[in-house]
Amino acid sequence: MLDLKLIRDDPDAARAALARRDPALVAVLDEVIARDGEWRAATAAAETLRASQRERSEAIATAKRGGEDVEGALAELKQLSAQVKDLTEGARVAQETLNATLAQLPNLPDASAAPGPEDELVRTVGEPPALAFTPRDHLDLAGTMIDTERASVLSGSRFAYLKGALVMVELALVRWALEKLSAHGFEPVIPPVLVRERALYGTGFLPDTEHQIYSLAQDELHLIGTSEVPLASLHDGEIIDGERLPLRYAGFSPCFRREAGAAGKDTRGMFRVHQFNKVELFAFVAPQRSREEHERLLAIEEEMVQALGVPYRVVNVAAGDLGDPAAKKYDIEAWFPHQQRYREITSTSNTTDFQARRLGVRYRPEGQKGTEVVHTLNGTAVADRALLAILENFRGDVPDVLREFGAPGRISR
In tens, the pLDDT along 211-253 reads 899 999 899 999 999 999 999 999 999 999 999 999 999 999 9
Model confidence at 209, in pLDDT bands (50, 70, 90)? confident
Give pLDDT tens digits for 357-395. 999 999 999 888 899 999 999 999 999 999 999 999 998
Q: Average per-residue pLDDT in the chain?
A: 94
**pLDDT of 129 higher than 90:** no
Mean pLDDT (whole number) for 330-344: 95
- The rounded distance, in Å, linking the Cα atoms of 196 and 386 is 30
| Domain 4-102 is found in CATH 1.10.287.40 | yes
Model confidence at 208, in pLDDT bands (50, 70, 90)? confident
- Whether the pTM exceeds 0.85: the reply is yes
pLDDT (0 to 100) of residue 170 = 96
Q: What are phi and psi of 136, to 5 degrees?
A: -115, 150
Model confidence at 132, in pLDDT bands (50, 70, 90)? low
**pLDDT of 407 higher than 90:** yes
| Domain 120-403 is found in CATH 3.30.930.10 | yes
Query: What residues have CB less than 8 Å from 340, skipping those under 6 apart?
Result: 135
- The rounded distance, in Å, linking the Cα atoms of 396 and 383 is 18
Q: Name the residue ranges covered by the structural domains of the chain.
A: 4-102, 120-403
**pLDDT of 134 higher than 90:** no
Least reliable range by pLDDT among 79-83, 254-258, 322-326: 79-83
Q: What percent of the chain has pLDDT over 90?
A: 82
Q: Are 216 and 222 in contact (CB under 8 A)?
A: yes
Query: Which of 171, 162, 174 shows the shortest CA–CA distance to 138?
Result: 162
Q: What are phi and psi of 54, to 5 degrees?
A: -65, -40
**pLDDT of 267 higher than 90:** no
Give pLDDT tens digits for 72-122. 888 888 888 899 899 999 999 999 999 999 999 999 999 999 998 999 999
Radius of gyration of the chain (CA): 27
The residue among 393 and 133 whose pLDDT is bigger is 393
Query: What residues have CB less than 8 Å from 335, skipping those under 6 apart?
Result: 126, 128, 310, 311, 312, 341, 342, 389, 393
Q: Is the peptide bond before 246 cis (omega within 30 degrees of 0)?
A: yes
For 66-159, where are the alpha helices, taking DSSP H only? Answer: 71-102, 138-142, 148-155
Q: Are 114 and 317 in contact (CB under 8 A)?
A: yes
Beta-bridged to residue 91, according to DSSP, are none
State whether residue 389 is helix, strand or coil.
helix
